Structure formats: C-alpha cells, structure tokens
Amino acid sequence: MNNNVETREFQTEIRQLLDIVINSLYTDRNVFLRELISNAADATEKLRYFKLTEEKSDNLDLPLEISIQTDEQAHTLTISDNGIGMTKEELIENLGTIAHSGSKEFIRKLTEAKKESGTESMDLSLIGQFGVGFYSAFMVADKVTIHTRSFRPDAESWVWTSDGTGTYSLAKGDKNTYGTTIVLSLKSDAHNYCQADEIKRIIKQYSSFVPFPIKVNDEKVNTVEAIWTKNPSQISDEEYTEFYKYIDNSYQEPFYKLHFTSDAPLSIRALLFVPAENFERLGFTRMERGVNLFCKKVLIQEKSEAIVPEWMRFVRGVIDSDDLPLNISRETLQDNALVVKLNKVVTSRFLKFLEEQAKDNPDKYRQFWEKFNHFLKEGAATDYVHKDALVRLLRFESNFTASGELIALDDYVGRMKEDQKAIYYVGGTNREVIESGPYLEIFKDKGIEVLYTYEAIDDYILDNLHEYKGKKIIAAEQDSTDLPDVDLNESQKEEEMAEDDKQALLTWFKETLGTKVTEVRASKRLVDSPAVVLSPHGTHNMQKMIQLMNKEFNSVPAGILEINSRHPVIKGINELRKNADPFAKEAAEQVLQNAQIAAGLIVDPRNMVNRLYNILERAVTNK
Ligand code: ADP
Ligand code: MG
C-alpha cells in the first residue's frame, strides 16, 4: 500500500450526480464511451494547439492519437491519450468540482426527474452537453483509475481512483509520458464493453468525426477528416447528421443545416446547424456559443464568442478560414478585423438562409420560430448590424390571422389598405386578452389589420423600429394622430351628448381624477367601450415597468383617459354629475380603473373592492 494516498470528497453536486449515475438504469449506456473519447480528443486538441503556437514544444512529440485497449480476462477497458494531461491541482479542480451554474442546474433537474420517476430508466444523453460527461464512466465501471501526467515540463504523474461513492483518492504515479490513461473496471453487467468488436461498433456510431486517429487494440478504426472542407455534393445527409451529433454531443438530428464555402473576398468554409431543441426555452440556463473557429482544419477557438454574435448562441457548427493566422491570440480574437469581417459575412449568410427557408418551407420555419424566436427577437433588439434582416424574419399573429397562423411585416405591408396611415400593433398577454380589450375596436370597425404582440420584447422592437418600408409603426395603445377615427352612423350620432355637456364632463372628469391621469378627452376611436387609457409613447409596457419598480405605483399617472361620450355609462355619470351626486366620483374612478386593467396596468385592488361593493349595492337595491 502506498501510504501517501490522499482521500478527498466530491463536491455535493457531483455526489448527487454520481448517485444517479451509479443507481439508475439507462436507456443508452454507450454514452460513456463517447464522453471519454471526446475528453481525450479535447486534451489532444489542446496539445496540438500548444505545439503550433509555442516555440518550446520540441519534446512534445508523441503521436496525436487516442488508443483503446480491451481486456476480456481482466474485464477492463482502457482509454489513453497523449494530450495535455492533468496536474494534481487540475485533477481536483476538473474532476472533483463543478463551477458552472448550468451544470448544477442540469444535476438539480436530473435529481428531481429521478425522484419523480423512482427506479425507472434514465436518459443521460445530455450529460456531455452540461460539462459533466466524465462521470458517465460510472454507468459501466465500479472503479475508475486515471493515470495522468501534465505536458508541462517537470510535471509529476498522478493516479486518481474512485468507485464513485462520495470520495476519490490521489496518489503519486509512475506514468513517464505526458497524457492521460483511464482504466475502467467494468461492472458485471457491463462486460460487453471489454469486447473489441462492441467498442469498434460504438466508435463508428458516435465518434467517427473525432479529428485524431482512434485505435482499438492497435487497429485504427476511424477516418479522420474535416467534413466542412469537402464539397457539399460529396457529403451524405447521414454524414452531416453524424457530424452534428458529434460536435453538439447530441443524439438528435439537427433542425436546419447550412454548409457554405466562399473563396473571395474571404476564404470561408462554414458548416452550421440549428439544433433540434432549444434548451434555454426548456428552462435551462443561458446557452454558451457553439461555433468553433478553425484555420486550415486546426481548431483556433472552441465555442468562439468572436465568430458569431451573441444572439446566435443557439447555432452549432464550424467556421474555417485559411486567411486567419494560425498563431492568432485567442484573447484578442474579438478585436481582430478579419474575425469581425468573418463574423459579419457568416451572420449575414445565416440570416439569408433563414429567409430562404421561411420562403421555401413556411411550415418548417414556423416550427423553428416557435422554438427559437427569442434569439431572433434578441438579435432584432440588440444587433444593429443585422437588424434589417432580423426584422424581416419576425413573425406575428394578427386580427386577420387564425390563432397560430403567423405573418411577417412584409405580408402585412403587402396587404395594407390604400389609405392606411401606418402599421399597427397591439399588445396583450394572449389573443383572447387582446381581442376582448378596447384597443382593437376601431380596427375591427374599419377592417384594418393589427399585429398582436404577446411579449415586452416585441413592443420594444417595434417601438424602436419606428418604421418599416417607409410606413410608420404605431401602437394601438399609443396617443397618436396616425390612428384611424371611427365613422359614426346616423343612429350613433344621435347618441352623442350635447357639446357643452361634453366639455363640462371632460373638465369635471379631469378635476375628479386629478393627477391619476395626465389628460381626459373625448375619444374618436371607441365604438363599444366606455373608456380607454392611452400611453404617451408606444405601448403601456414602459408604464408597467415604472409601476413594477415603484412601490407607490398608484402615484404613477395612468396616461391619457379617453371617454366615449355616446356610452350609457358615461352619459349616466354625466347625469349624476349634474345632480351633484357623490356617486359620480366613484363611478368615474371605477371607469379609470377598468380602463387601466384593460391596458394591462397594475391597479390597487384594495379600495377597488370596496368601491365595487358600493356600485353593486346601488345596482341590486336599484337606488
Ligand atoms: P467537459 O469535457 O465538458 O469539460 P467532463 O466531465 O467530460 O466535462 O470533463 C471535465 C474536465 O476534466 C475536462 O474539462 C478536462 O479539463 C478534464 N479532463 C477529462 N478528461 C481528460 C483527459 N483525458 N485529459 C485531460 N483532461 C481531461
Ligand atoms: Mg467532456
């Protein structure tokens, strides 16, 4: 026994994860092999990059390859690489703790799912996407031993061992070359993984795109190629799909694929994928970017933040440019003029691709929109360089579409009425809310199309856009002279109250409501509702934000109150006013609160309930 063995505990989250990994049944245990190969490939890639960019790397000349040994007698599977290896500190840091909040979230959800489903089988295929792929080794092994030595000069060799039950041990080792060797002592129900044929089969299935030779018992089993540099006509759909699965650690088919090459003015080989699922939408934390930057098939930067804008973080893929200098500093990529240019070209090309997809297969684009719209909206709100193209990709429902049917701004403009002054939109949490509210009335009445916006970001984008194809964009809730006025028919005109009455009522309304409103006026747009509040600018969303930030939200004025002087409620209030009945004030206040509720604004429910009881009492006792 080595008495220099040090035993340490795994971090809580890892213990939870290991508990699941060890005690569950799996739908697909083969995952572990892909995860370990992918780690070996990452470590090898890092070493290759180091050798390319650093001068003092002469002694790092072991072959860049991954070798796997199966031992049917000992029931072990051994995976070795000549990558960067790990120091003792790195072993503790990388395999004993997880810092990433997304991974912690993944484990939390996994733990919950496990609790709910009890002993049922688990699908752990996402494990690699959350940066904890290594631990999948414990699905098949009851003991994992890692012999590793860092590539750094004078680094020592270390042995890490664990059975996955809470602790691991560290001891000095005797590995005399840099790199990592992982030995799995297979569980009795996992002995199939010490059969070479089985291992070869799994590698062909999942790891055919690893950019280094993989040898099983010294026989090379994969063909190493950079698929993105080939001519698209030479690549089958299956190859594309396998490649996607490899780079995204995914088991699903990609949703969209874009492969394009160009030689002038810039050399670009780009292969981009939209994944099948949007994990941000499913409640996981923010995605990292997923496009890797290459130069002449050599990885320059993984998950590069420089090569695509932030809103494109859902896109997975590879961008390769011969024009990049190989020794470009990863730290300053963001400021490199060539990288900035590449980013612009690739982003534009991707947006053009989406536009073509939307045209050629609108149904599929709709599915895409449902899953990924918030990225495009984020882009439309933040990316000034590509704003126009992003805005063209936005989709909306409207009072002219069926529920779930979507149109673009171009569709809207293409069927605008000849005398229509602007593009209109109206906000609300959903279709029913919008259609039962007062803002749509005038548009229904006039047969004018109005876009529905269900999220604050929609309003933000449209409000900031101001116009599209030379047409102003106006919120139906906005105080604007560009809104249509209602045309009254004869009988409606007869309903109108006398002009001097109307003026007196407006003055009284404003005096009664005081600072709760900025102005009270007679509406030219209401048909059936008694009143509506208008926002000085855009939709009511800004107002809502101010309300949410302000404890005394009652003190924030509601905006402009427009009243419908033909409406029986308003006319009734006018009569009460003339009779100096104090009930007039209560009714007026309730009209304002109803209008605020219809606008989606926050109202104080306490005094409203009392007021409503007063109103009810009057109604039921008929006083
Ligand atoms: P991820 O690969 O997503 O970071 P893993 O759980 O698969 O998550 O691996 C955790 C970390 O352990 C890796 O980021 C790496 O730093 C280290 N590691 C794992 N395998 C190796 C290896 N073969 N060589 C060097 N480092 C490794
Ligand atoms: Mg990994």
CB of 132 closer than 6 A to ligand 1?
yes
- 408 with 498, same domain? no
- 516 with 448, same domain? no
Of all protein residues, the one whose alpha carbon is nearest to atom 12 of ligand 1 is 94
Q: How far is the centre of ligand 1, averaged over its atoms, from the C-alpha of 318 (Å)?
A: 21
Residue 45 has which token pair?
């890639």
Q: How far is the centre of ligand 2, averaged over its atoms, from the C-alpha of 182 (Å)?
A: 13
Q: Which amino acid is at 72?
A: E
- 15 with 100, same domain? yes
CB of 83 closer than 6 A to ligand 1?
yes
- Domain count within the chain: 4
Which residues pair with residue 293 across a beta bridge?
A: 301, 319
Strand order in the sheet with 298-301: 256-262, 268-274, 316-320, 290-295, 298-301
CATH number (domain holding residue 71)? 3.30.565.10
Its domain, for residue 552, covers 494-622
Q: Answer whether residue 202 is part of any domain.
A: yes
Is residue 259 within a helix (H) or strand (E), and if so which, with residue range? strand 256-262
More confident residue, 464 or 182: 182
For the CA of 38, the closest atom of ligand 1 is: 2
For the CA of 128, the closest atom of ligand 1 is: 3
- 501 with 598, same domain? yes
Contacts of residue 305, defined as CB under 8 A and 6 or more positions apart, other chains included, come to: 289, 334
Amino acid 120: pLDDT: 59
- 433 with 475, same domain? yes
Residue 411 has which token pair?
């569709």
Residue 465 backbone dihedrals phi, psi, to 5 degrees: -75, -30
Q: Answer whether residue 370 is part of any domain.
A: no
Of all protein residues, the one whose alpha carbon is nearest to atom 1 of ligand 1 is 131
* Alpha carbon distance 35, 14 (integer Å): 16
Residue 265: cis peptide before it, omega within 30 degrees of 0: yes
* Alpha carbon distance 412, 396 (integer Å): 10
The last residue of one of the domains, among 220, 248, 282, is 220
Q: Answer whether residue 143 is part of any domain.
A: yes
CATH number (domain holding residue 470)? 3.40.50.11260
Which residues pair with residue 80 across a beta bridge?
A: 67, 181
Q: How far is the centre of ligand 1, averaged over its atoms, from the C-alpha of 94 (Å)?
A: 6
Q: How far is the centre of ligand 2, averaged over its atoms, from the C-alpha of 32 (Å)?
A: 10
Q: What is the mean pLDDT of residues 59-84?
A: 96
How deeply is 553 buried, as exposed, middle or buried, from its count of CB atoms within 10 A (0-12, 13-18, 19+)?
middle
Ligand number, closest to the Cα atom of 85: 1
CATH number (domain holding residue 559)? 1.20.120.790
N- to C-terminal Cα distance for the chain? 97
- 93 with 12, same domain? yes
- 13 with 156, same domain? yes
CB of 409 closer than 6 A to ligand 1?
no
Of all protein residues, the one whose alpha carbon is nearest to atom 20 of ligand 1 is 39
Amino acid 453: pLDDT: 94
Q: What is the reported pTM?
A: 0.75
Q: How far is the centre of ligand 1, averaged over its atoms, from the C-alpha of 31 (Å)?
A: 15
Ligand number, closest to the Cα atom of 303: 1
Q: Which of 337, 30, 370 is nearest to 204 (CA)?
A: 30
pLDDT exceeds 80 at position 121: no
Dump the DSSP string for 346-374: HHHHHHHHHHHHHHH-HHHHHHHHHHHHH
* Alpha carbon distance 184, 260 (integer Å): 42
Q: How confident is the model at residue 82 (pLDDT cuts 50, 70, 90)?
A: very high
- 433 with 512, same domain? no
- 464 with 570, same domain? no
From 11, 18, 31, 42, give the residue whose CB has the most ligand 1 atoms within 8 Å, as the site to mutate: 42
* Alpha carbon distance 370, 368 (integer Å): 5
Q: What is the mean pLDDT of residues 347-365?
A: 97
Q: Answer whether residue 381 is part of any domain.
A: no
Q: How far is the centre of ligand 2, averaged over its atoms, from the C-alpha of 37 (Å)?
A: 8
How deeply is 605 buried, as exposed, middle or buried, from its count of CB atoms within 10 A (0-12, 13-18, 19+)?
exposed
* Alpha carbon distance 50, 265 (integer Å): 30
Residue 298 has which token pair?
């050599």
| Alpha-carbon distances, residue 583 vs 11, 95, 395 (angstroms) | 67, 73, 47
Amino acid 130: pLDDT: 79
Q: How far is the centre of ligand 2, averaged over its atoms, from the C-alpha of 103 (Å)?
A: 12
For the CA of 81, the closest atom of ligand 1 is: 23
pLDDT exceeds 90 at position 250: no
Ligand number, closest to the Cα atom of 14: 1
Q: How far is the centre of ligand 1, averaged over its atoms, from the C-alpha of 41 (Å)?
A: 10
Amino acid 286: pLDDT: 82
Q: Answer whether residue 549 is part of any domain.
A: yes
pLDDT exceeds 60 at position 1: no
The last residue of one of the domains, among 465, 484, 503, is 484
The last residue of one of the domains, among 484, 507, 525, is 484
| Alpha-carbon distances, residue 600 vs 428, 449, 533 (angstroms) | 7, 21, 10
CB of 45 closer than 6 A to ligand 1?
no
Q: Answer whether residue 371 is part of any domain.
A: no
Q: Answer whether residue 254 is part of any domain.
A: yes
For the CA of 39, the closest atom of ligand 1 is: 20
Question: If phi over 0 gives left and psi between -120 and 50 gives alpha, with beta otherwise, what is residue 424?
Answer: beta
Q: Answer whether residue 161 is part of any domain.
A: yes
- 55 with 156, same domain? yes
Which residues pair with residue 167 across a beta bridge?
A: 9
Residue with tokens 């000085």: 536
CB of 133 closer than 6 A to ligand 1?
yes
Count of all residues that appear for the chain in the document: 623
On whether the CB atoms of residues 592 and 561 are closer than 8 A, the answer is yes
414-450 residue pLDDT tens: 999 998 989 999 988 899 989 998 999 899 989 999 9
Q: How confident is the model at residue 118 (pLDDT cuts 50, 70, 90)?
A: low
Amino acid 387: pLDDT: 96
Residue 159 has which token pair?
């042995």
Residue 402 has which token pair?
């069926």
Q: How confident is the model at residue 59 (pLDDT cuts 50, 70, 90)?
A: confident
Amino acid 487: pLDDT: 84
* Alpha carbon distance 316, 314 (integer Å): 7
- 215 with 236, same domain? no
From 14, 37, 39, 67, give the residue whose CB has the most ligand 1 atoms within 8 Å, as the site to mutate: 39
CATH number (domain holding residue 259)? 3.30.230.80
Q: How confident is the model at residue 135 (pLDDT cuts 50, 70, 90)?
A: very high
- 302 with 448, same domain? no
Q: How confident is the model at residue 552 (pLDDT cuts 50, 70, 90)?
A: low
Q: What is the mean pLDDT of residues 177-190?
A: 97
How deeply is 133 buried, as exposed, middle or buried, from its count of CB atoms within 10 A (0-12, 13-18, 19+)?
buried
